[in-house]
Every structure is written in structure tokens, then in C-alpha cells.
Structure 1
Amino acid sequence: MQNSHELVEIIDKKLSSETFNHWAAKLDEQKCIWAPVQTLDEVVDDPQVHANGYTTTLTHAEEGEFKILTAPIKYGRTPGIPTSTAPELGQDTETTLLELGYTWDDVNAFKEQGAII
């Protein structure tokens, strides 16, 4: 769009001249459909997000409990809700290597070489 950069600058300048609450009231008065852009922390604490079941609480071994967003869509046979945090670095290395056919001697050799932790 021609002059879009200039238009954005004009709008930014105008919007920054007043508070969020000022513009929220103005938009509401004009019956505009609008919503603020939220930070991740705001989204996780949003009442509508909770009402829709889009958050879950996980527990990390070192960080403790924290809330995360889940998938905003629900599948019948594939729930989009994480049930655990990611493994720690190297946590599943031995098991994975053994499942791939390596022996314990191989795993120990990899450790001695510094290839794995």
C-alpha cells in the first residue's frame, strides 16, 4: 500500500499521545470491535483463555509449577495438552541409544569420548 509507512507513523504518534484506557473508551464509544495485543503472561492469566481450557499447569524439577498455553483446538483422539516438561539435557540419552541398538559398552565409550553426557 502506498504511503503505509507514513500512515503507521501518524497512527503511532496519535495513539501514543493518550493512555490505553483513553483509546479503549473511544473505541468502545464508536462500537468498534477491538482487543488489545497481550503479552504471553497476560494471555496465560486471561479469564477467557481459562474458561476455554487453553492453559495447563506443569511442574519443572528446578523451576517448580508454571502455567502454559495448550493448543487452541481440540482433537478427538489426540489431546493437545502437554503432560510434562521437556527432559533435561542428556536425561534420555542412554535409553535412546540402547533402544537404537547400542550396547552399554558403546554408551560408556561415548561418555568417555565426551560425545554424550
Structure 2
Amino acid sequence: MKNGICILLGFLFLSSCSTILTSRKQTITFYSNGDKNVRLFDEKGKEVGQTNKDGFVSVKVRKKLASPIYTAITSDCRHRKIELQSRFNAVSYLNILFLPGFIVDISTGKLCRYKKKSYVIDVR
């Protein structure tokens, strides 16, 4: 019984509002306004998606404090850099009631979310 109560209290005190109420990843949609055969790479050089015949690709991006930079490569090998802009997650204001929640949100990266949900890849 004591162990159960300790585990429950530990969970409540070591969690925060953003950790409970928001997901780890956010879906970002990219649209290519010219070339419809564009591949998208993350910061580590890993391919994360390719546009469909309409020029759209949706990618689940993990939330973090730094703004990640994605690279779009067209079929004729032109490179375009796209920086996802982070902003403060409004749900984190609920941590005012329990300040260690800010530390948890910072360590999990959920203190921020991405400002825009869609980006245009200008390849003209």
C-alpha cells in the first residue's frame, strides 16, 4: 500500500502539464510549389519523407527547444533549407502551480511547439 502511494505521488510530482496533455511529436506538412518529386531530410541526413503526386508530405517531428533545420532536395538536385520555428507551448503556463514541472518540460522538450503547421518548399 505504501509503495503504491509513493509511486503515485512520485508520478504526480515528477510530471508536468505539458508532459501529460501534449504529445511528443507534432505533425508538420510540407508543400512543394514547383517540383512534385522532392525528398525531405532531417538534420542528421536521414530521409524522412517524399512528396506525393500533389506535392505534399507530412512528417511527425519530435518537439525540442532548438529549431530543427530540414533539407529539401529536388529531382534536379537543388537544396532548400527549411527551419522550423519553435514557440512557447501555452499549456506550460499551468506549471506555475508546480515549478518543478518546468524542469520536466524543458528536459522532455515539450516546453515548446512549432509555430507553423505547414511550410512551402519554394523550388522555382
Range of TM-score over shorter length: under 0.3
**Higher Cα Rg, which structure:** 1
- TM-score under structure 2 normalisation? 0.25
Higher strand share: 2
Higher helix share: 1
